[in-house]
Chain A
Amino acid sequence: MTQLTVAKAINAGLARAMEENPKVMLMGEDIGSLGGVYRVTEGLKSRFGAHRVLDTPLGEAGIVGTAVGLAERGYRPVCEIQFDGFTFPAFNQITTQLAKIHARSDGQLTVPVTIRIPYGGVIGSVEHHSESPEALFAHTAGLRLLAPSNAQDAYWMSQQAIACDDPVIIFEPKRRYWLKGEVDEKTSPGDPFKASVIREGEEATIVAWGPLVPVALAAAEAAREDGRNVEVIDLRSLSPIDFDTVTASVRKTGRLVIAHEAPTFGGLGGEIAARVTERAFYSLEAPVLRVGAYHLPYPPAAVEENYVPDLDRVLEALDRSFAY
């Protein structure tokens, strides 16, 4: 067991994957000498060499597009997109190429590309540095999506994503990069595409992922002080979504609140709400409620806390659920 921050855990996970497989390589803007703007890849260029840690020219379509070719040639590239809002020059490569090559080739070609995207808000930055675009990618068949919330998952998911033969996008909770946690480097936590019940409860379920997991836990703790016993699920994987774990929890608690930083409209919360309603309709004591951002562009830093769900918004949704 080691205490690591989320950023250092990703660094350790990438390093281990590179040690174990010479075909693993990293690509991205400023990831080499600088170690990335968040220092997630710090030290890896000097350790593994400039031929395995590429400070690429400044083009996201180029990064992901060449990663596809490298993957077809037998490499396992890990691409870093510098900030969520800069994913979109690569959107074509990700959605029309990377996601579809396995299907298009009738399964002949695999493209095991990992894309790391530091995502989410409340970091007090300027435009395009705080977005949560996961739904755009979840909607695209052929991509797997992971969202670690803690150091242990950050360490293992980095390696599991690289080992996976499908393309995997890892949404890294950038405002939690400095969150410390225990990392067990010996035992793998198992299937990364399964949700995890991280706090047991009987009266309501909160589903969250990535940066909102600590908020969901804090909400459950606050509810306990009001005498309410709330279960918390860290969804971990956004495609596929482990509906079995969520449904089983809701069958027990009868109430579900889903919290995400992305806007509610068209967000993953809607998909989860619909599936749970279809599967557990007679167990529900209240409609499934969602807490997300508004149907607005991410606002300026000065008012971002009104936009991104916080503890109070989650508690208010819980209250509403209990009021039924």
Chain B
Amino acid sequence: MASRTHAGAVPSTLPRHQILDEQGAIADDPLLSPYVADVTVEQLQHLYRSMTAARRVDEEGTSLQRQGQLVLWVPLRGQEAAQVGSVWPTLPTDRIFPSYREHAVAFERGLAPSDLMRLFRGITAGGWDPEEHNLNLYTMVLASQVPHAVGYAMGTALDRKAAQDAGTPPETDPEAVIAYFGDGASTEGEIHESMVFAASYDAPVLFFIQNNQWAISVPFATQSRVPLATRAAGYGFEGLRVDGNDILGVVAATRYALEKIRAGEGPVLIEAETYRMGAHTTADDPTKYRERDEEEQWGHLDPVDRLRAHLRDAHGVEDEFFETVARENDEIAQRMRADVLAMTPPRFEDSFAKAYAEQHSLVDAERAEYLDYQVGFAPQDEMDTHDTRGAGA
């Protein structure tokens, strides 16, 4: 899909990889096809389940927000192949640094949908233990997580070297790290610094960009004249441009990149070209800035439809499978909804225990003041707050 390009753009010569074409037929890709030659129909069905479950949970997220049960929801519709396809090939030992729309990534890593909802329920700024699924927390300040990913990757390389120096036999599958970010975030200065550091230290990190064509209301052409994958060459590492609505293309590109990264060749960048089919968030109104035509055109490239067509046409998968998956997804969404409705807000006083790892006298004092102040509101309380608080003020 030709997105609006910048007037001064120099045409890019970087090939755009694709394995499943728009109709769901196999298109041969000389570099990447071998990387998915072994994918079985059962695995494709797993990928289909993951993509559609994420889409169903996403719909439920929007409806929960509309009903006032979430403070905000960030729809992922359209980006299921880019997300599932890039995380499915990872190992549990690989660390993932998401941005804030990577719900399908999180679910595929094993996070329960309701755990992800805590943040959007407005009861925490986190919501899960990053160690449990090797999945870092969401980050709202664009691009901030990317240097963290590079540093984490540098740490894994240092650990590997220390182990080698100590004579430990090398692991067969060294850890890799994935940093997710968007086309808009790619403009932030921290992205440039991250790429320089990653290149300089051969950090085992995959920069995975979901170019969904929009940064809220700003089209991709404002961020870049060329595909973002071309930027990798300027830092001296490989950049791949892949059809982000093609699940097999994304899986293949990611496997190819992880292989290089694990071999110690340093960073790789993948730009998955996809589309944000929904609003930026539930607070957004895309009719203000983009044409229905464009949405319709991308609608024909829906990643879920494409995989469904492939499963039907190339593997003879029957309706019953798709119907069963749809039913299971409804159950997942209903369970998630019930869990969300049962969530209770945290106690504010617990915040005081979380700001620092070690005891902090000011926080202790303010906690005591806060509790004392709350006691003033207890209905049975007879105490005169003037006397108890005035002296210490």
Contact = CB atoms under 8 A, between A and B. Distances in A.
Interface stretch (A71-79, A158-166, A242-250, A302-310): A302-310
B363 interface: yes
B93 interface: no
A30 B125 contact: no
Contact of A126 (B120, B348, B360): B120
Contact of B345 (A303, A320, A324): A303
Interface string A147-181: 00000000000000000000000000000000000
B327 interface: no
B292 interface: no
A323 B190 CA distance: 52
B122 A126 contact: yes
A320 B386 contact: yes
B190 A297 contact: no
B14 to A, nearest CB: 21
A320 B389 contact: yes
B189 interface: yes
Contacts of A32: 217
A126 B187 contact: no
B362 interface: yes
Contacts of A59: 187-189
Contacts of A33: 217, 288-289
B142 interface: yes
A49 to B, nearest CB: 16
Interface string A15-39: 0000000000000011011110100
A287 interface: yes
A296 B120 contact: no
Contacts of B334: none
B141 A58 contact: no
A128 B138 CA distance: 12
Contacts of A30: 216-218
B100 to A, nearest CB: 8
Given A34-B216, A302-B345, A316-B373, A125 B385 contact: no
B117 to A, nearest CB: 12
B355 interface: yes
A29 B280 CA distance: 14
Interface stretch (A81-89, A209-217, A219-227): A81-89
B393 interface: yes
Interface residues on B, range: 35 or more
A324 B387 CA distance: 9
Contacts of A124: 71, 122
B218 A297 contact: no
Contacts of B163: none
Contacts, number: 135
B184 interface: yes
B185 interface: yes
Chain A contact residues, majority secondary structure: loop
Contacts of B226: none
A104 to B, nearest CB: 22
Q: Which of A57, A62, A312 has the most CB of B within 10 A?
A: A57
A295 B123 contact: no
B11 interface: no
Given A34-B289, A299-B351, A125 B71 contact: yes
Contacts of B325: none
Contact of B366 (A57, A126, A295): A295
B170 interface: no
A135 to B, nearest CB: 16
Contacts of B189: 59, 61-62, 89
B71 A297 contact: no
A62 B351 CA distance: 35
Contacts of B188: 58-61, 89
Contact of B288 (A35, A88, A89, A294): A35
A88 B143 CA distance: 12
Contact of A319 (B71, B346, B354, B386): B386
A70 interface: no
28 contacts: A30-B217, A33-B289, A34-B288, A35-B288, A56-B218, A58-B188, A58-B215, A58-B223, A59-B187, A59-B189, A86-B142, A124-B122, A125-B72, A126-B122, A129-B140, A296-B355, A296-B363, A300-B345, A300-B346, A301-B123, A302-B122, A302-B345, A303-B346, A303-B347, A316-B376, A319-B385, A322-B386, A323-B387
Interface of A: 29-30, 32-35, 37, 55-62, 85-86, 88-89, 124-129, 265, 287, 289, 294-297, 299-303, 306-307, 312-313, 316, 319-320, 322-324
- What 10 A-B pairs are tightest by C-beta distance, nearest first? A301-B122, A323-B386, A302-B345, A34-B217, A306-B348, A58-B184, A303-B348, A33-B289, A57-B187, A58-B187
